[in-house]
Structure 1
């Protein structure tokens, strides 16, 4: 009996030690929300994917810490979702999750109270929890701001406050900025806190291309950078990302083709101000993405051909290859000299594969994007044959499972089922994805191809 008591005590002790970090709840999303509501807590949601490196670092280095568990366990109902599996797919979509890890702080009614993301050192991660707790007790939560806006409230102070509140939850503000801008005076536009909130970078941030706020930023970007304490060019880079996101989320979604020329003009202006390379290629890519996103096959075909044949393949690829080699050799210097030990770098093989092909990797991915657009939207054998030539070049520049998966799709649509199956199997053997869910998907895709079925998601 004493032996069993001792074993039980040791099991309890071990369990307590293991639970020193964040204790994650199990169950359905509905059950977790109900628990949070009953306990008057927020749900902390770690949104991850199986292939996300920073997600794994958080799991290994931050979540297990006692000081982190001491804050998160009493304050939140903690929950994890894979954005690519089960309920996680819809939850990630509901909250517009576009990068990983993303951390959502949601109340028992399913309302977003705060969000953050990325790899955080413990101090920063705990500060995010403090902000979330503060937001929970805000007497005017996001839902109330939204109700007042929908009821027609549009005075300047309200709109500025609403923009700040939306910035907290990383909600897009592009359209709101167009509403409030005519009401703003010089003092408002010199308000460091307000402007910092507007330019707090997030994948969901939006700015209306060629809108009133856009024109202001073009004219005053240097002053804005100084005001918010950022490097020169930061506000222009944010504007580029935000107008791109507006293009994807609003213009493509609503099939507003009249805005396509505006988007192209704005993108050129921003890239020129930022002194970026390959501007014409980027503009051709934007046109292709519009027709891909709106599924206009007749216009997509010439747009994709223009992007690849008159854009990507007209670049000085030999110079890019040489630049990759120079950069790679420089990156390896401290390891070759013995100053650093490659055996202590867990991701050494993966890192070397990427570092050796930084510029050509980008070319390969862009060729893949064009070939995949054709694969999904076009049935013309002649055009499919062109796309196969593009994907062969992509595979030659930087072999990658996603490229091989698209290649497999094109082969299947070209009537070459056996070759398509072998190519998808080759994709599944890529060292980048061994043992994770992406490999499982590719093996499932291979089985579908064997039965003559084109997978809905190639990779």
Structure 2
């Protein structure tokens, strides 16, 4: 009897706790949701998620239940969750949305998760947001979705009707890019770029960097044929890095995925790249080998590729690459000559900026090389510069070093 009484007292409290966050409608069809929004003169907030999406789970567990989020959203939106994938465990409510979910995916280009779609009370799509975020930014995003001057689809409709002034195009193209609408992003950015008299200003070059995703984009040829001019504005090696990243994706990684588990035909891949981009084919192949062998966890080949790349092109390696290569050597190689080389790469990685994680790599390599005193000193430096979240990891490593344990 006492247990029953206790549950009776707890149930209202649990219900109140659940109501503090966003109230999501359940058991309604898409048509019924639209009718409810129209009747209550509220916008519709649609959370498009999948069962496997980590950021989706973060939002559901940590952001949507917050009271301040619920206070803002429940007053202005009818909110619904739409599962975009299909699993054997789906209940009847989820199954009833299968057809609508597929149509929504197609109509609004929902291929990144979470995608948040916003509809006006009349059912017309007005805005989209992509990705997880903290509560304050989420509220700010949703607030902007109520403003016609910031609504992506409202502005896109103006573009399609002929609005083409440069400030408008700049703003809208970035909204399309951040909203993961690549087709419209390409079209709008082209309209903007075509109106620019000088593409070699810092602003325009950085804009082109953001919108150069393939060899078909206008920025690709500009970076390819004007590397010196671009690097004078953006920094040494910037143009080449952009070009090599695109070429690697289109000419190398696309070929590797076709072969399944078969060994890559590096000779054929290199020959193809050399025909199109002879100036950096050799360097690109070596970098791709490092990534490929690291991905398939072929330690010996990854180490050999790193050593070969650094021997020929090590002077060009950026701090991030230097740190990544040095860490791979720490994890995969026991040869002391190789470790000594990695120590030099690692030290270069934080020469200009003492990044704690890079210093940690250096300390780990020192320890592996048998230089315990130096390793402890550098790990302490890394720990003292680290954020509160990182500090515990460095403390654990430091304790192992002091005790002489294997890292």
TM-score by length of 1: 0.46
Counterpart of 1:356? none
* Separation in 1, partners of 2:56, 2:151: 32
Of residues 8-17 and 65-74 in structure 1, the stretch that sits farther from structure 2 once superposed is 8-17
Counterpart of 2:171? 164
* Separation in 2, partners of 1:110, 1:307: 53
Confirm or deny that 1:273 pairs with 2:255.
no
CA contact (8 A) 2:169 2:191 kept: no
CA contact (8 A) 2:43 2:118 kept: yes
Counterpart of 2:280? none
Where does 1:195-214 land on structure 2 (aligned, <5 Å)?
A: none
Counterpart of 2:54? 53
Confirm or deny that 1:125 pairs with 2:138.
yes
SS of the residue corresponding to residue 81 of structure 2 reads strand
Confirm or deny that 1:325 pairs with 2:338.
no
- Higher Rg: 2
CA contact (8 A) 1:33 1:107 kept: no
Q: Root-mean-square deviation (CA), in Å?
A: 4.7
Q: Displacement of 1:275 after TM fit?
A: 2.7
SS of the residue corresponding to residue 70 of structure 2 reads helix
Q: Displacement of 1:89 after TM fit?
A: 3.4
Counterpart of 1:71? 72
CA distance 1:279–1:150, change in 2 (3 Å): closer
Counterpart of 2:118? 105
Where does 1:37-436 land on structure 2 (aligned, <5 Å)?
A: 37-85=38-86, 86=98, 87-135=100-148, 142=153, 146=157, 153=162, 156-157=164-165, 160-161=167-168, 164-165=171-172, 167-168=174-175, 170=179, 171=181, 172-179=184-191, 181=193, 183=195, 216=199, 219-220=200-201, 222-224=202-204, 234-241=206-213, 243=214, 273-275=239-241, 281-285=248-252, 309-311=268-270, 315=289, 317=293, 318=300, 320-321=302-303, 323=325, 325-326=328-329, 335=393, 338=396
Gaps of 5+ in 1: 187-215, 226-233, 248-261, 293-299, 342-459
CA distance 1:88–1:163, change in 2 (3 Å): farther
* Separation in 2, partners of 1:340, 1:35: 59
CA distance 1:305–1:11, change in 2 (3 Å): closer
* Separation in 2, partners of 1:66, 1:327: 46
Gaps of 5+ in 2: 87-97, 228-236, 271-284, 294-299, 307-324, 333-359, 365-391, 400-407
CA distance 1:279–1:17, change in 2 (3 Å): closer
CA distance 1:308–1:28, change in 2 (3 Å): farther
* Separation in 2, partners of 1:108, 1:122: 24
CA contact (8 A) 2:155 2:172 kept: no
* Separation in 2, partners of 1:74, 1:128: 16
CA contact (8 A) 1:20 1:66 kept: yes
CA contact (8 A) 1:163 1:173 kept: no
* Separation in 2, partners of 1:308, 1:41: 61
CA contact (8 A) 1:101 1:117 kept: yes
SS of the residue corresponding to residue 145 of structure 2 reads helix
CA distance 1:2–1:340, change in 2 (3 Å): same
Q: Deviations over 1:357-376 (max 9, x none)?
A: xxxxxxxxxxxxxxxxxxxx
Counterpart of 2:356? none
* Separation in 1, partners of 2:8, 2:20: 19
TM-score by length of 2: 0.51
CA distance 1:76–1:308, change in 2 (3 Å): farther
CA contact (8 A) 2:169 2:189 kept: no
Q: Deviations over 1:229-273 (max 9, x none)?
A: xxxxx54541333x47x77xxxxxxxxxxxxxx898578568971
Q: Displacement of 1:111 after TM fit?
A: 2.9
CA distance 1:141–1:181, change in 2 (3 Å): closer
* Separation in 2, partners of 1:17, 1:143: 36
